[in-house]
Amino acid sequence: MSGNRKKKVLLIKLSSLGDVIFNVPLANALKDAGYEVTWLVSEKGIDIVKNNPCVDKVILAPMKEWKKRGMCLTSFFEYLDIIKQLREEKFDIAIDSQMMFKSLYFMAFCGAKRRIISKEGRELSLLGGNEWIDNISYKPDSPIVMNYLRYANHLGIEIAPEDIKVTLPKRTNSQIQKVNELLKDLDKTKQTVVISPATTWGNKHWNKDNWREVVNYLSDKVNLIFTGGSNDNALIEYIAQGKGLNLAGKTNLLELAEIFSRANLVISPDSGSAHLAWATRTPKVIAIFTCTPKEVLGPLGSYDKYISLGGRGLNCQPCFKRKCFNKENFEACTFSPSADDVIDAINGLIFS
């Protein structure tokens, strides 16, 4: 990087958890190329970005809190304060990878000389830019991590898939000790499999009876752990049938990452958990897809470590819908892949 100071870049990616994780390789590419990286993020991704070595500075936009409050002066003044912080940084470049209305005003008023956004930006977000690049999603099956890296390509930074750099914040001693306590009774002679069956979209959930078949197959072969939020307990109780260790609601995000990092295998639908497991770079991952495309959102890497199943086979797939509107084949995608398909993948990854 020329000059006496590093060029400063603002990355605007507010949410969701998975999308924030998918942008970590972009932030690393920028930082490794010599940029000073600031990330504007919401509550959903703050734990992944704060203290992550991929960034120099983090600014929180409390979108969840603002939505909860509704329109009020307190939120408006907080928004103005964030705009003030952004402008004081005197960014050389801003990149809007959120590409939605909620990022428009941050992008438009951040004060960066170059404000870069893809032409596929939605909800008027294109108006926030002054430099528009071609659609970053070149193909319907292009991995999303590589799509976001096209912002780096535009700045002359080339990263091959095998060279992407994924980082997470270092876990604290207290987080590590807590996980030690949670997992103290595991059988050290067995492999550990984590099942994270829930996600925020109903239409992304895999059939719960398929989950039961997988649990029945694994229960006496491995240490079986279930993770999720406290509101996922009913689902977990149904599929676990009293087997394994249920940690739903007992960990924060980085403690969950620590659990994943100690597992041999994580199985999850297309969810923040699946992407977090991939980001830890340690366990093998089986990701199950229903209404979303595995070619785009599946964990990127070698098939002998990362397997994505489902996501194709019906005329309506992938629909990207939170709820199913196919009356003739209602929620048919949630039954695929079969339990046998997942068991075959498990055998290939950890029992072969």
Asked if residue 318 has a cis previous peptide bond (ω within 30° of 0), the answer is yes
Q: What is the pTM of this model?
A: 0.92
User: How high is the pLDDT of residue 219?
Assistant: 93
Phi, psi at residue 54, to the nearest 5°? -75, -10
| Structural domains of the chain, ranges and CATH numbers in brackets | 8-163 (3.40.50.2000), 173-351 (3.40.50.2000)
Task: Count Cα atoms within 13 angstroms, Cβ side, for 63.
Answer: 16
pLDDT at residue 298, as a whole number: 92
- Please report, as a single letter, which amino acid is at residue 106: F
* Measured distance CA(166)–CA(27) in Å, rounded: 9
pLDDT tens by residue, the chain, 352 residues: 545 678 999 999 998 899 999 999 999 999 999 999 999 999 999 999 999 999 999 999 998 998 988 889 999 999 999 999 999 999 999 999 999 999 999 999 999 999 999 999 999 999 999 999 999 887 778 899 999 999 999 999 999 998 999 999 999 999 999 999 999 999 999 999 999 999 988 788 999 999 999 999 999 999 999 999 999 999 999 999 999 999 999 999 999 999 999 999 999 999 999 999 999 999 999 999 998 889 999 999 998 999 999 877 777 777 777 787 777 778 778 888 999 999 999 999 999 8
Q: Phi-psi region for residue 303, left (φ > 0), alpha (ψ -120 to 50) or beta?
A: alpha
